[in-house]
Structure 1
Amino acid sequence: MHKDPFVFSQLVQFMDRNHFNYLVRKYEGDRYVKSFTCWNQLLTMMFGQLTNRESLRDLIVATEAHSGKLYHLGMGKSVTRSNLSKANEQRDYRIFEDYAKFMINEARKRRIDKIFELEGHVYAFDSTTIDLCLSVFEWAKFRKHKGGIKMHTLYDIEAQVPAFVHITPANVHDSKAMLEIPYEPGAHYIFDRGYNDYGNLYTIHRTKGFFVLRAKNNVQMKPRTWKRRLARGIVSDIVGTFTVYKSTKVYPEELRKVICIDPEDGSKYIFLTNNLTATASLISELYRNRWSVELFFKWVKQHLRIKKFWGTSENAVRVQIYCAIITYCLVAIVQHGMKLERSIYEVLQILGISLTDKTHLRDLFDKKNINDVKDLYGSSELNLFNF
């Protein structure tokens, strides 16, 4: 006889329910609630994420199939479509937003891994647009016949988990979200060309942080010093100031301009940075690792349910996105905490068909039981998170 609790219940044990209850009390999430609490709502949403449910109806059908197990899974005695829909529409999304921030911090603390041997953290900042049907999501108007929202993400490259997530309407320019980043002294922030906002870059400089920005081709600088001995692939490395009056007004300090050539396709890259001591090769390597945030967006859209939403209001959409982030961080914490020799993708695939089994997690992920998950599922997906 199996004595272990359900797999889903074992996963939930890695979560801090006391902190979640504190947030529920803070935002009065369970006020006038009799049975289907915010905790039940969170676990139901996470169950849908892990089992890849396509719609609210699909999620309810899946829970009804396990109606006798719902109480032991933590979802309450029953989950109805009306209860879940009403909860997503009306309960304050900030409960789930703040808990997502808490889970992000927990995952980052557990997944410290110095790749570049720099004193501070290394972050990549970028955004992804999630398209929405304008006739259904009228509040998310983007263009005349198109709706959408943007998920701006500060991605911790070394821990390989998001450090900060900010959701805005899709018509908000990427550089505007730079104002929301919680900058840290000594950290490096990597940006693509859409973030050529020198005022925000100067804010990073004043907080004693560092930035690496892919600059536009027409950037003009007056050099003060330049290096003559350059590493392979480095075309130019100078330190100077901007020559355009408007640029010097918002960024009056010296900065560095590095030009390099990609050996694979011969493309030229121009970088601006306020790190005047690092090697040009390191600056180039930092930017090359910015691609990990793009792969994170691709991975999230493919494997977590944020492309098809289970509610139409802005509050419901935000709740679902933050529940997806909580789910991702939970799996990352479990994978690292149990020292699993599997990628996060493989962990998710196994969990997706095992949540209602009574198997110990250690036995569930034992490679002796399942030798190759990708062969089992016939998947050729990009395996981004191999730790």
Structure 2
Amino acid sequence: MDNNKNIRVICQCLYVLNLPKQRFFWDDHRTHKLYSGRAIGLHVLAQLLQLKSYEDITEQLQAHPELGQIFGMTSVSGPQLSRETKALCTDTLQDLFYHLIGQIQERTKDGNGFSPSIGRLHLIDATDIRLPDFLGSWARCGSRKTGVRLHVRLVVADSDTVFPDKVIASTVNVREAKVSLELTLEDDVTYVMDRGYEKSEHVEKWLTDGIQFVVRVRDLLQLHPVPGTERTIPSSESAQTRILQDVDVLTNKTTKPARLVAFADETGRQYRVLTSRWDLTADEIALIYKNRWRIELFFKWVKQHLKLVKLHGSHPDGVWNQLFLSLIAFAVSLLLKLNLQTPKTQWQVLKLVRTYMYKMWEELENAVFRPPTRKSRGRQKVNGFGPSCKLPQRIILL
């Protein structure tokens, strides 16, 4: 991606994909109009603009002639888009997503991670997307639950930048522990997981392979302290965290000891986490687990700001493709933010991209770096009341 000021913002977005006029030999056999490259570009555009249906995509194409010049067609129908969404090759979309993630990794390789002493964190969790009971019967789990599950490994590159670098899509009947070994392969990062990924056999393998991890364990899991390994609990550095226990433990199914750190948060709720990071303090271990919440914020961001809560269709191929198209749109929006080198958040940049989508890139840059128009400190309160407010008068009852 470059900073050509004389092209439109939409062109800059699609320049990242480099796909609108590209044809794939196997996918586009006998396709005359809506090539795979065009379909992917239209879908990513729909994600960035948060369009709600195929009809909205077709209206965008007809309302903006510049789109016709970019995609090489002036109109497309909703049924065509629906058919092409199901016909897209999921492996192609997955490869495109990882290609964009590779660019993000290259741009953020100099980041300090969570902190210089802790390093990079990989947060692992899953989120569910519900499907209609009848049309989504192929993804049914039990008698009531129907949907798909997105297992994500989220990289904390620095305090402001997070992105998924590994994704496994499945139906909701695939439990988190079944895919945890596929998401924990590197030994130079720390994996942070919730209770769904805790399994004694996996903990044993991580300890054997030298994998760094912090995983919360269930309250019912029996842990046996190793004699002589209990550590003195110093006064907590954080006023919001109270360390309760710090000791090496074994489970009924493990032969290698792991470190147990038990702590309570500001509300008094207690947590027990197992870890292989003996080089950190108990406060740092608690802080690492508390930052697992950032992956929940990532899921919330994608569901709110991109089209991931309510999918366009319920066909299996279409569902898997829409999941990866949403992740591709997330990667494009993050690359735009990194390219602009702005302290604004990714959501602030995405809002401006939506506003200036059909304007020149220079106008978007001016909007991003425009100084705030408000120069005063605003109306200051005095003793809890604004300057124009009168103090309450005593009410006299006659």
| TM-score, with structure 1 as normaliser | 0.85
Q: Deviations over 1:312-370 (max 9, x none)?
A: 21111111111111111111111112212321111111222322223424234232498
SS at match of 2:247: strand
* Partner in structure 2 of residue 154 of structure 1: 153
Q: Kindly indicate whether the alpha-carbon contact (under 8 Å) linking 2:33 and 2:73 is maintained by their aligned counterparts in 1.
A: yes
Query: Does 1:260 pair with 2:263?
Result: yes
Q: Kindly indicate whether the alpha-carbon contact (under 8 Å) linking 1:150 and 1:167 is maintained by their aligned counterparts in 2.
A: yes
Query: Does 1:227 pair with 2:226?
Result: no
* Partner in structure 1 of residue 380 of structure 2: none
Distance change (3 Å), C-alpha of 1:323 and 1:133: same
Match of 1:362 among 362, 365, 369: 365
* Partner in structure 1 of residue 27 of structure 2: 29
Alignment of 1:132-151 (within 5 A): 132-151=131-150
User: 1:207 & 1:102 partners in 2: Cα distance?
Assistant: 28
Match of 1:201 among 196, 200, 203: 203
* Partner in structure 2 of residue 44 of structure 1: 42
Distance change (3 Å), C-alpha of 1:241 and 1:367: same
User: 2:245 & 2:61 partners in 1: Cα distance?
Assistant: 60
Q: Kindly indicate whether the alpha-carbon contact (under 8 Å) linking 1:8 and 1:73 is maintained by their aligned counterparts in 2.
A: no
Letter in 2 for 1:117: P
User: 1:151 & 1:176 partners in 2: Cα distance?
Assistant: 13
User: 1:182 & 1:238 partners in 2: Cα distance?
Assistant: 24
Q: Kindly indicate whether the alpha-carbon contact (under 8 Å) linking 2:127 and 2:149 is maintained by their aligned counterparts in 1.
A: yes
SS at match of 1:54: coil
Match of 1:179 among 167, 170, 181: 181
CA deviation after TM superposition for structure 1 residue 308, in Å: 1.7
User: 2:58 & 2:372 partners in 1: Cα distance?
Assistant: 31
User: 1:330 & 1:78 partners in 2: Cα distance?
Assistant: 24
SS at match of 1:302: helix
* Partner in structure 1 of residue 55 of structure 2: 57
User: 2:283 & 2:214 partners in 1: Cα distance?
Assistant: 12
* Partner in structure 1 of residue 387 of structure 2: none
User: 1:171 & 1:306 partners in 2: Cα distance?
Assistant: 19
Letter in 2 for 1:124: L
Structure 2 residues not aligned, in runs of 5+: 237-241, 375-398
Letter in 2 for 1:366: F
* Partner in structure 2 of residue 311 of structure 1: 313
Query: Does 1:272 pair with 2:274?
Result: yes
Q: CA RMSD in A?
A: 2.5
* Partner in structure 2 of residue 237 of structure 1: 246
Q: Deviations over 1:226-251 (max 9, x none)?
A: 11242422221112323x2xx22xxx
Match of 2:102 among 101, 105, 112: 105
SS at match of 1:94: helix
Identity over the aligned pairs, expressed in percent? 23
SS at match of 2:245: strand
CA deviation after TM superposition for structure 1 residue 78, in Å: 3.1
User: 2:71 & 2:105 partners in 1: Cα distance?
Assistant: 26
User: 1:75 & 1:88 partners in 2: Cα distance?
Assistant: 19
Q: Deviations over 1:118-154 (max 9, x none)?
A: 5763111111111111222232223324421111111
Distance change (3 Å), C-alpha of 1:15 and 1:182: farther
Match of 1:217 among 213, 216, 219: 219
Q: Kindly indicate whether the alpha-carbon contact (under 8 Å) linking 1:183 and 1:204 is maintained by their aligned counterparts in 2.
A: no
* Partner in structure 1 of residue 393 of structure 2: none
Structure 1 residues not aligned, in runs of 5+: 372-387
SS at match of 1:13: helix
User: 1:151 & 1:21 partners in 2: Cα distance?
Assistant: 28
CA deviation after TM superposition for structure 1 residue 81, in Å: 1.8
* Partner in structure 2 of residue 377 of structure 1: none
Count of equivalent residues: 358
Larger radius of gyration: 2
Q: Deviations over 1:46-72 (max 9, x none)?
A: 111111111122222222222x22233
Greater relative CO, 1 or 2 (CA 8 Å, sep 6+): 1
Distance change (3 Å), C-alpha of 1:32 and 1:231: farther
Query: Does 1:327 pair with 2:329?
Result: yes
| TM-score, with structure 2 as normaliser | 0.83
Q: Kindly indicate whether the alpha-carbon contact (under 8 Å) linking 1:40 and 1:76 is maintained by their aligned counterparts in 2.
A: no
Q: Deviations over 1:6-31 (max 9, x none)?
A: 2100222234559x969x45xx2222
User: 1:99 & 1:182 partners in 2: Cα distance?
Assistant: 22
SS at match of 2:226: strand
Distance change (3 Å), C-alpha of 1:260 and 1:182: closer
CA deviation after TM superposition for structure 1 residue 109, in Å: 2.5
Distance change (3 Å), C-alpha of 1:313 and 1:95: same
User: 2:169 & 2:127 partners in 1: Cα distance?
Assistant: 10
User: 2:311 & 2:72 partners in 1: Cα distance?
Assistant: 20
Q: Kindly indicate whether the alpha-carbon contact (under 8 Å) linking 1:88 and 1:311 is maintained by their aligned counterparts in 2.
A: no
For structure 1, which segment, 4-13 or 352-361, has the greater mean C-alpha deviation from structure 2 after superposition?
352-361
SS at match of 2:192: strand
